[in-house]
Chains A and B, each alone.
Chain A
Amino acid sequence: MKRNWISYPYIIWMIIFIVVPLLLVVFYSVIVVTEDGLTFTLEFYKRFMQPVYIKVLIRSIVLALISTFICLLIGYPVALILAGKGVSRKNTLILLFVIPMWMNFLLRTYAWLTLLEKNGLINTMLSWFGIKPLNLLYTSEAVVLGMVYNFLPFMVLPIYSVLSKIDKSVIEAAEDLGANSYKVFTKIIFPLSLPGVMSGITMVFMPAVTTFVISRLLGGGQFTLIGNLIDRQFTTVGDWNFGSALSVVMMILILISMAIMTRYDKDREGSALL
């Protein structure tokens, strides 16, 4: 356990701004201030066990899983194309992929508000083809769309970086031994890219399961997710104890999903931690 003295400022920083706040959250979730001092209670966790709140939790997980899956479905081919040798101006393409991320994601989500609305761009274009305006905004599909749109780069980039590191000679060897391109993909490329896939899944799932802005703006407040619930406890209700308990549940959930991911990823690079 020999540490360099130079690490101490960082350790102190982490203690003050990460460890202590975390402990405070845990503390608030189990302790209430009563007239005769502090009392330990599990009341807030018990309250969370009510069907309403469990329903919210399940919805959050389901929507996040759907978004993660769609991101994977769309993102993997994109990463494959970007990493492929046939692509000229690769850097430009990657840059185009990254540029939207420089803008605040709130602004990008607001943009969808005007694109999807009844008199919005998409419905106007549909009307040129004689299609009646659709109710696109304020649906659960709109929430998933918002998540996929915002978090897709987090899926593409890790997969791309793993794919582009694969040793070309491995693929050539497989081809020399008579594997067709389907076999090369299923037996060589895909298994080798799994660490990237795993870290992509974690990086999409985590923000998707905790988001509260996307569900509020694109869901029109009709699809309460656990993030909205936590937000409300601190802003309108003022119930810090219940909010903290919800946050702890959320953190445990994320820890579990990360544990599952790293288990699959055991003997490969530890990129899933990102």
Chain B
Amino acid sequence: MRNLVKIVLAIVLFSILIGTFAGCKGGNGSKDDLNANQSGNKNESKKKVVLNVYNWGDYIEETVIDGFEKKYGIKVNYEMFTTNEDMYVKIKSGAGNYDVAIPSDYMIKRMISENLLNKINFNNIPNYKYIEERFKNLAFDPNNEYSVPYMWGTVGILYNTTMVDEPVDSWNILWNKKYEKQIFMLDSQRDSLGVALKKLGYSMNTRSVEELEEAKKALLEQKPLVLAYVVDEVKDKMIAGEGALAVVWSGDAFYCISENPDLAYAIPKEGSNLWFDSMVIPVTSGHQEEAELFINYMCEPEVAFKNADYIGYATPHSEAKKMLDPEVVNDRAFYPLEEDLGNFEIFEYDAEAMKDYDRIWTEVTSE
């Protein structure tokens, strides 16, 4: 009987190990398989298709989905994720069979390099013409083959005008002793190290360990002034007047200001992070055409307007922008012009560099 247990254990272990490694390396092979499946399915696609859409939480105007279902008779199964990494793990493991996903810039680049995305046939997306020229051919998808921009924004400083009376236009204000224990930083290594790197005049995507060490020094020097390193809590805390200054994403800033008019948002002159969330089609999709239909639908002026109006992030859609409240669109903090973005950078992904970033960030937060 003990032998039986041993054999069972061996078989189970072996199959799981094989499964894991097949999962790790299977990117290339499975793409062809899936493409083959897809063409096989084409004839049947007139039947009831369910489109699996995978998006950030609270990142769409929900009636838009009903509109799509009614217009095309395709049912949408809408699911949400909270971080790019959650989404990545799920798509990579092949779970979910998502047809459309909306990850951020650096993650799109990583997914392209690991063959996790299908090329989009832009002939099927006539509404792509509404996307502003400056948001095409972005660094993470240089030939514009894989992604259609959905929202974009910046990282900047949210401040409480009742507590800060000097002009906010530089990262240096976060090192001002006057605001001791009134500063919130982001508990995100890329963003917080990025702030320090930009303050020092370096690139946010630096791979130089010396520059990172300098950034670490700056952050350690700042640490006694920082109240906390937070992520989502920053919104509640800033609205409640718990802090004077906070590093936030522009969309969060927009939300906070709508809840507490004492708050204001500024993007520092040294430059900052410029980010994009774009629509892509994962290789796990079995419904390429319907997915393209969905992406095209999301780029219809009316739909893009509804989404931008609801979410509050900046839209790359020229027609939607025209329909939005001019006061918002003309606010250069939320819709910076091209000339404002001279020093801005899009995050790049580099697995090796990430380890240095993590070590440096650990040194900062464990001091």
Interface residues of A (CB under 8 A from B): 1, 3, 11-12, 15-16, 19-20, 23-24, 27, 33, 50, 52-53, 55-56, 59, 113, 117-119, 135, 137-138, 216-217, 219-224, 228-229, 232-233, 235-239, 242
Contact = CB atoms under 8 A, between A and B. Distances in A.
A138 B83 contact: no
Contacts, number: 95
Contacts of B95: none
B242 A222 contact: no
Residue among B187, B228, B357 with max Cβ neighbours from chain A (10 Å): B228
Which 8 pairs show the lowest CB-CB distances between chains A and B? A220-B228, A221-B229, A221-B187, A138-B228, A224-B366, A224-B365, A237-B358, A56-B366
A232 B358 contact: yes
B21 A3 contact: no
Given A15-B9, A135-B181, A221-B228, A239 B355 contact: yes
30 contacts: A1-B1, A11-B5, A12-B8, A20-B16, A27-B17, A33-B21, A33-B24, A52-B359, A52-B363, A52-B366, A55-B366, A56-B362, A113-B233, A117-B240, A118-B242, A216-B187, A220-B187, A220-B227, A221-B187, A221-B365, A222-B228, A228-B365, A232-B358, A235-B83, A236-B83, A236-B85, A236-B189, A237-B355, A238-B85, A242-B355
A236 B358 contact: yes
A31 to B, nearest CB: 10
A240 B334 CA distance: 37
Contacts of B36: none
Contacts of A53: 362
Given A52-B359, A56-B366, A232-B358, 16 more contacts: A1-B1, A15-B8, A16-B12, A20-B12, A33-B21, A33-B24, A52-B366, A56-B362, A113-B233, A135-B227, A217-B233, A221-B187, A221-B365, A232-B362, A237-B355, A239-B355
Interface in B16-39: 16-17, 20-21, 24
A230 to B, nearest CB: 12
Interface in B182-216: 187-190
A68 to B, nearest CB: 21
A224 B362 contact: yes
B237 interface: yes
Contacts of A233: 358
A24 B187 contact: no
B20 A222 contact: no
Given A138-B228, A224-B365, A236-B188, A15 B359 contact: no
Contacts of B86: 235
Residue among B17, B83, B188, B358 with max Cβ neighbours from chain A (10 Å): B358
A94 B13 CA distance: 45
Contacts of A119: 240-242
Nearest to A234: B85
Interface size class of B (residues with CB under 8 A): 35 or more
Interface string B108-126: 0000000000000000000
A146 to B, nearest CB: 14
A24 B233 contact: no
A232 B241 CA distance: 29
Interface secondary structure of B, over-half rule? helix
Contacts of B2: 1
Contacts of B355: 237, 239, 242
A52 B362 contact: yes
A6 B366 CA distance: 50
Interface string B68-92: 0000000000000001011000000
B8 A222 contact: no
B354 interface: yes
B110 to A, nearest CB: 9
A72 to B, nearest CB: 27
Interface string B344-361: 000000010011011100
Interface string B267-302: 000000000000000000000000000000000000
A11 B16 CA distance: 17
Contacts of B189: 232, 236
A233 B17 CA distance: 21
A56 B358 CA distance: 13
A20 B190 CA distance: 34
Contacts of B246: none
Contacts of B230: 220-221
B356 to A, nearest CB: 10
Contacts of A138: 227-228
B304 interface: no
Contacts of B357: 237
A137 B230 CA distance: 12
A233 B362 CA distance: 11
B223 interface: yes
B237 to A, nearest CB: 7
B65 interface: no
A113 B230 CA distance: 12
A3 B362 contact: no
Given A19-B9, A221-B187, A235-B85, A137 B366 contact: no
A216 B186 CA distance: 12
B354 A238 contact: yes
B226 interface: yes
A229 B16 CA distance: 26
